[in-house]
Amino acid sequence: MPTVYVRQVSLKESLSDATVGEYWQWILSEVIPTMQKIPGIRSVRAFSGAGGLRADLRFVIDMDDGGVYERMLADQQLRPLLARIYSAWDMNTARQTFVREITPDLLRALGGT
């Protein structure tokens, strides 16, 4: 069933402006293109809320199904990038959400008609 994964984070306050800029360049030029090559990922987008490019950030990954998340974490191209991705995040403020699209298939799976 189509699933959307949303990871909401803020970057660590200790990061310099230059480091934040380099991080975003790397995310856009290397990380997102690598993620988009993983089978089952429909799209990967990054959003910034009220906090500019340091706080209230959201990574939104549209997937064919929830199992894609596990395949993404195990992907041989993405795995080496994960430590650097997470190292910039303030994990005290990080949240994640999975939501499934309501479709006829989902209704059938839940016993509805």
pLDDT for the residue 86: 96
Q: CA 89, 55, 88: angle at the middle one, nearest 5?
A: 20
Domain hosting 104: range is 3-109
CATH of the domain at 56: 3.30.70.100
pLDDT, tens digit, for every residue of 57-92?
999 999 999 999 999 999 999 999 999 999 999 999
pLDDT, tens digit, for every residue of 43-64?
999 999 887 799 999 999 999 9
Q: Are 29 and 49 in contact (CB under 8 A)?
A: no
Q: Based on the structure, what is the number of domains in the chain?
A: 1
Confidence of residue 101 (pLDDT cuts 50, 70, 90): confident
pLDDT for the residue 106: 79
Q: What is the pTM of this model?
A: 0.87
Q: Give 102 or 94, the one with higher predicted confidence.
A: 94
> Residue 87 corresponds to which tokens in the numbers above?
């190292």
